[in-house]
A and B are shown apart, each in its own frame.
Chain A
Amino acid sequence: MDEAALIQAAQKGDLDSYNRLVLAYQDLIYNQAYRMIGEREAAEDATQEAFISAYHHLASYRGGSFRAWLLRIVTNACYDELRRRQRRPTTPLEPLDEDGEEVESPRWMVDPGEAPEDLTERDQLRQAIEHCLHELPGDFRTAVILVDIQGMDYLEAAESIGKPLGTIKSRLARARLRMRDCLQGFWELLPENFRLEEEQVVK
């Protein structure tokens, strides 16, 4: 059964058909939630909430990209979660030592579960990217996740956030510029194939 038939059956109340759609998209939706929120448990909650909400609002789906429709729902669920977090007291960006002074090393460089010497360069690079990603404003983060991480084209990304194409172009360009500024000190962590690709850029 193709996706359109599954959607149609789900709209008529067939839960099994809907769950087949869930299985097809749950990695994508969870990945979006995790990249936006940055925590596994909260991402799980947002994913579950998005799938429940999508099931109960299936009647409002009028065609188009079902993936973009689901991504829009989970993105809104993540915004809700991030807003809730903003209302709560938050921990300082830089952790405090025993004397109450801020630790100079960035939080994302300190993993309490592992000693720094055990971290591989790849882990450091991943943590650096995730840190810079979460430093972005929410709208910029959504755009860069949709296009650069989820691999969506501009049109589908625009559909996912319910904005015009020009908005996704603008947000993406500015988000990439901010990411570049944040990651300035980590180019040496790039894998060798990345450096090779750099040399092939327009000459």
Chain B
Amino acid sequence: MKRSISQRDLELISAYLDRQLNARQRARLEARIKSNPELHTTLVDLRKTRLLMHSLPRQKAPRNFALSPAVAGAHPRLPVLLPSLRLASALAALMLVVVLAGDFLGVLAPAPTLPFNEPAIAEEVALEMAPETYTEQEAGDAAPLAMEAPEALPTETSVMDENSQPATGPDEVALKEPPLGTYYTETMTNTARIAPEFTAIPSEEAYDATGGGEVIIQATAPAPTATLPAIPTFTEAVPMLPTETPPPPPTSVPIPTRTPENTPPLEQPVAPPTPSTGTGTGVNTTLRLLEAALAIFAILTGLAAILLRRGGSGR
């Protein structure tokens, strides 16, 4: 027989049977039960049901469940070690991803390291050089030299070694110039080998303003004491100008348009700056080592966690 009483009344009657109502609730419910046969019948039925449940025999444990040392020790304290290994593996993997992403995107790649690469420094050096060259040389004399130099000395260039100092006059510079063949030949055969001695920065290529695209190549040493304003660009067929030509300030010289007549084809216009520098190679090596270490650490801790879990659950 189905009866329809509210859920609230049902809970009240159930709690009443278990003596879970306070005195006021109990008195109010008893009054309602006396006046409401449906509530009374529900109370009787639930009471019988409750007594039936109590009548079920209590089951005795069929055996002793005490743990033997073997059973108790079969499960090592995994909750302490396992999460630590998992966390370490996850963190290492995350760091590896970050480092790889940074390496790939070039965020972590080292910037060109020579002081000449800094535009402000280059400009400052150029300003130091400019007055000497322009005051000691007549503009009228310099222009013809600049125009004639490529034709008169088509295979010569101004190369300064690491010990070279800023030129104080055309004669001194000319005396210090070594023959062209040394660096020029090396440049044509092995750019990477020359790169540690010369740092070529595309933005700081010094072109002769009047030379029709001819590039002034100046040797720069990695040592911070070098004071030359411009960074050379190594190309196979670009004729070099001697340093008698007054070097114009890099910031004020527009890059001329190269034409096939005055500029040989530049198949390798710019030497890759970063990978060939000594500092960049060191940083890259460090990055690779870091990536490898992170990968190995992530794999090892992950494997250890898996083996530990399998070992723990297999016992």
Report the nearest B residue to A23, measured CB to CB.
B66
Q: Are A197 and B67 in contact (CB under 8 A)?
A: no
Interface string of B43-69 (1 = CB under 8 A from A): 111111111111111111111111101
In the complex, chain B residues whose CB is within 8 Å of the CB of A52: 67, 71-72, 75
Q: Are B30 and A27 in contact (CB under 8 A)?
A: no
Which of B6-14, B96-104, B234-242, B260-268 is near enough to bind chain A? Answer: B6-14
Residue of B nearest to A128 (CB): B52
Q: Does B1 contact A (CB under 8 A)?
A: yes
Assess whether B254 is interfacial by the CB under 8 Å rule. Answer: no
- The main secondary structure of chain B at its interface with chain A is helix
Given A22-B66, A23-B66, A154-B20; A149-B56 close (CB under 8 Å): yes
With most chain A CB atoms within 10 A of its CB, the pick from B15, B30, B72, B75 is: B72
Residue interface mask B156-180, A partner, CB < 8 A = 1: 0000000000000000000000000
Contacting residues of chain A (36-80) with chain B, CB-CB under 8 angstroms: 40, 43-44, 47-48, 51-52, 55-57, 59
B72–A15 touching, CB < 8 Å: yes
Q: Are A55 and B72 in contact (CB under 8 A)?
A: yes
- Kindly identify which residue among A31, A169, A203 contacts B15, using a CB–CB cutoff of 8 Å: A169
A26 to B66, CA, bound (A): 9
Please name all residues of chain A whose beta carbon is closer than 8 Å to the beta carbon of B48 when the two chains form the complex.
Answer: 180, 187, 190, 194, 198
Given contacts A31-B59, A198-B48, are A154 and B18 in contact (CB under 8 A)?
Answer: yes
Nearest opposing residue in chain B for A203, CB measure: B34
Expressed in whole angstroms, the Cα–Cα distance for A169 and B207 within the complex equals 91
Q: How large is the interface on B (under 10, 10 to 19, 20 to 34, 35 or more residues)?
A: 35 or more
Q: Is the CB of B46 within 8 A of A18?
A: no
- A187 to B54 CA separation, bound complex (whole angstroms): 15
Check A47–B52 contact: CB distance below 8 A: no
Main secondary structure of the interface of A (DSSP, over half): helix
B28 at the interface (CB under 8 A from A): no
Choose the segment among A86-94, A103-111, A112-120, A171-179 that binds chain B (4+ C-beta atoms closer than 8 Å): A171-179
In angstroms, Cα B60 to Cα A31, docked, is: 7
- In the assembled complex, the Cα of A154 lies from the Cα of B15 at a distance in Å of 9
Tell me, yes or no, whether B192 is within 8 Å of chain A by CB. Answer: no
B224 at the interface (CB under 8 A from A): no
Say yes or no: A149-B61 contact (C-beta < 8 A), given A57-B79, A174-B10, A176-B46. Answer: no
Q: Does B40 have its Cβ within 8 Å of any Cβ on chain A? A: yes
**Chain A residues within 8 Å of chain B by Cβ, number:** 56
Indicate with 1 or 0, residue by residue over B219-241, a CB within 8 angstroms of chain A CB atoms: 00000000000000000000000
Closest chain A CB from B124 CB (angstroms):
67
- B71 — nearest CB in chain A belongs to which residue? A52
Residues on A with C-beta less than 8 A from B50 are 148, 176
> Which residues of A lie under 8 Å from residue B40 when comparing CB positions?
201-202
Interface status of A12 (Cβ within 8 A of chain B): no
Nearest chain A CB to B260 CB, angstrom units: 79
Q: Are A201 and B47 in contact (CB under 8 A)?
A: yes
B window 68-85: CB within 8 A of A: 69, 71-72, 75, 77-79
Q: Does B287 contact A (CB under 8 A)?
A: no
Chain B residues closer than 8 Å to A197, beta-carbon distance: 47, 51
B33 at interface, CB cutoff 8 A? yes
- Write the residues of chain B forming the contact surface with A, with a CB cutoff of 8 angstroms: 1-2, 7, 10-11, 13-15, 18, 20, 30, 33-34, 40, 43-67, 69, 71-72, 75, 77-79
Of all A-B residue pairs in the complex, the 6 with the closest CB atoms, nearest first, are A148-B53, A173-B14, A19-B66, A30-B61, A26-B61, A173-B11
Contacts A/B (CB < 8 Å), 5 sampled: A27-B60, A29-B61, A56-B78, A149-B54, A180-B48
